[in-house]
Amino acid sequence: MLRYLFILCLLASLFFSSCRHHKDLIYFQNLDTYPDSSIYEVLKYVPSTVNYGDILAISVYSFDPRASSPFNNHVSSTSETQVALTGSPEYLVNEDGIINFPVLGSFPVVGLTQKEIEEKLIDRLKQGFIKNPVVDVRLVNFNITILGEAGSGILEIPNNRVNIIEALALAGDISIYGDRKNVLIIREQDEVREFARVDITDAGIFNSPYFNLQNNDIIYLEPIKAKTTDENQERVTRNIAFGSFIVTAITLAITLFTL
């Protein structure tokens, strides 16, 4: 009788020690503590800048298709240029930070936003090539990497714009074992790697410079200590169950033998 009571008490202690506080799982807490409704002001979106290894889809338009046609041709003999599924030529930003653009040749793009590239291309095309050109630049490989307690994978963002909440939702949300108060964001920009930690249980996340994600950002969700504890507890529980079975079997065998 005492043996079974001991096992019951042990299992109960394991169960209650593994429970997480409900508050640890709630997003955007303390909404009412921010003065002047500051969190309701939408942060101005800062567009990503182009980096080495990025892929740009660039299309040139004009009233005269014959004038813009040479700038939309791709060079199939080089690995740096190919035609996108949409029909726009794609250009790989090489290790020197440039793309090889038709007619214009080498064109530096690293450190520029898509809008800045469009403006610079328009200025070059106006110099004796096209009278009123229209240029469309899109970043093809806008990706966010997710690791840890929100799944593992690479999210492709076709519209080149996503915030941390949207990215986590696309990944399937954070498991109950994810540390929502210590989300790590790794960002590479202007040849500098940044490490930042944000708390998404705090409504102040909306004011964070890391709320809107940049191309190639990495999000890592650390597991809380309770996950390791729970895994150990499951192992202990299995061992207890197995031990209890052995003890019961031996007790039954002894009882039968003594009859």
Q: What percent of the chain has pLDDT over 90?
A: 42
Beta carbons of 47 and 118 less than 8 angstroms apart: no
Q: What is the pLDDT of residues 229-245, one digit of tens each?
A: 444 555 555 656 655 66
More confident residue, 127 or 258: 127
- The CA distances from residue 77 to 52, 70, 82, 93, 193, in Å, are 21, 16, 9, 17, 35
Go through the domains of the chain in sequence order and give each one's CATH number. Answer: 2-19+225-258 (no CATH), 22-45+142-221 (3.10.560.10), 55-139 (3.30.1950.10)
How far is 170 from 166, CA to CA, in rounded Å?
6
180: amino acid identity, one letter? R
Q: What is the pLDDT of residues 133-179, one digit of tens each?
A: 999 999 999 999 999 998 888 999 988 899 999 999 999 888 888 99
3-state secondary structure the chain: CHHHHHHHHHHHHHHHHCCCCHHHHCCCECHHHCHHHHHHCCCCCCCCECCCCCEEEEEEECCCHHHHHHHHCCCCCCCCEEECCCCCEEEECCCCCEEEECCCEEEECCCCEHHHHHHHHHHHHCCCCCCCCEEEEEECCCEEEEEEECECEEEECCCCCCEHHHHHHHCCCCCCCECCCCEEEEEEECCEEEEEEECCCEHHHHHCCCCECCCCCEEEECECHHHHHHHHHHHHHHHHHHHHHHHHHHHHHHHHHHC
- Average of pLDDT values for 97-105? 93
